Amino acid sequence: MPILQRGIPQTLARISFRIPNRANTSRHLFTKTVPAKRTPIRTGLYTTAFILSAGVFAVYYFDARSALHRYLLTPILRNVLDAEAGHKVAVKTLRSGLLAPKDPLGDDARLKCKLWDEVISNPVGLAAGFDKDGEAIDGLFGLGFSWVEIGSVTPKPQPGNPRPRMFRLEEDNAVINRYGFPSQGHSSVLARIRSRIPDFPPKLDRAALRDGAMLAVNLGKNKESPADSVDDFVTGVRAFGPYADVLVVNVSSPNTPGLRGLQNRETLEVLLKSVTKARDELEPPPLTSRKPKIVLKVAPDLEESQLIDMADVIRNSRIDGVIVSNTTIQRPKNLISINKSETGGLSGPPVKPFSLKALQTLRAHLPASIPLIGCGGIVTGKDALEYARAGASMVQVYTGFGYDGVGTCRRIKDQLVDELAKDDKTWQQVVDDAVSRSSWKEPKPKEPSVQQLIAEAEELKTMLDKLAKSMV
């Protein structure tokens, strides 16, 4: 055989692979080739191509709306890191002004809403729990949220519950957490909030430092504090009152023992009286001319009778609003994720029916002057609109933001505009209709009956007779 006669080395030396190149020449696999001479023109072309590619990528990356975040970066983060580690990376990224994507668009006029006679640019806010220590406030505002709520913040630093304490239920688009208020404490978070205030702040009269937006601080309670004590909340009001537009009193987390007991009628009366008194005693804030609003955050797991009792307490207090709701300890039967049996609070779409029901109950037992903020399972514009039709003045997202990434707020707002356009209405019109129709109204005094008028007349006659006799 010819190949065997010539030998393998000689055969291999003669084998060549033709590889087309720009000069349409052949390149041999086992022969030395001379690299093409690099000219200044070639180098310039390569450099220009690299700069243009990097520029296009940067434009695409820094636009929060890009599919890159929703379909590539966020899923990678979810699959490479556990839930808590991924959460921390997201916060650190948004904390960095250099790496944080932004929503480049303004808000549609249909989305304007009113809260305590303040105009807000859109009704989509971020719930507490994402930015626990106030690290990424401006990065979150940059994503288009009109309300950024940091915390929960406890007076003293505490580590929270042992890890693992956050679990994804990916098949259900849900999360279970038992964080237990990990917090750097008042001093650290307060210093961070102060550091973002410029030497010459704009005259916007908002702690958010931007028009059409609000900064809220969610106040928590230390684990070792007495269960029935309200002191931690009072301390929080005094610490953060001068630097927040809203203070949220969180008595609804299921992960701090005894905390939900503060929702009972007697303890709730003491709590609300104490925090509003502390707010009223604040010195005029250095940042705004208004003292902060006080908002109560409630659980979705209360019975209807408990919610009615709570509404009665709220009506007779001086708080300004209610967030409905927090995570739930209930486990719907349709959950399919293997993590569904983990202990903690469930959030995401499965909590939506519970939150909506609680909101509707409270709306029916609170006057229109006390706004409700809906929270629980909001993933789309339709979800947000459902809350508005139930009487919520605004909504908050959390779990959907974790799953869909930095473009979540913009997508919800765009979908919401489309839904509102179908009915040719604005968000505020939908809310006003629902609140007017569903809110509690002061009962009218009953008109006296004929029998009652006769009895009163007879009683008056008897008194006059006695008076006449005494004067004789």
Active-site annotation holds for 337: no
Which residue out of 146, 252, 253, 337 is catalytically annotated?
Answer: 253
Contact 169, 432 (CB under 8 A): no
Dist. CA 4–CA 126, nearest whole Å: 76
Torsions phi, psi of 339, nearest 5?
A: -85, 5
∠ CA 310-362-239, rounded to 5°: 60
Q: Which of 123, 165, 135 is nearest to 388 (CA)?
A: 123
List helix spans (H) across 303-379: 304-315, 352-365
Q: Is 151 helix (H, G, I), strand (E, B) or coil?
A: strand
- Type and span of the H or E element at 168: strand 166-169
Query: What is the residue-wise DSSP string for 20-84?
Result: --TT-----TTS--PPPPPPHHHHHHHHHHHHHHHHHHHHHHHBTTSHHIIIIIHHHHHHHS-HH
Distance CA 126, CA 339 (A): 25
- How many Å apart are CA 4 and CA 30, to the nearest integer? 20
Give the distance between the most distant pair of CA atoms in the chain: 156
CA distance to 220, 247, 266, 355, 425, per residue, from 313 (Å):
21, 19, 9, 20, 34
Tell me which residue of 366, 326, 244 sits closest to 293, measured CA to CA: 244
φ, ψ at 457 (rounded to 5°): -65, -45
174: which 2 tokens? 């849900």
Catalytic residues: 253
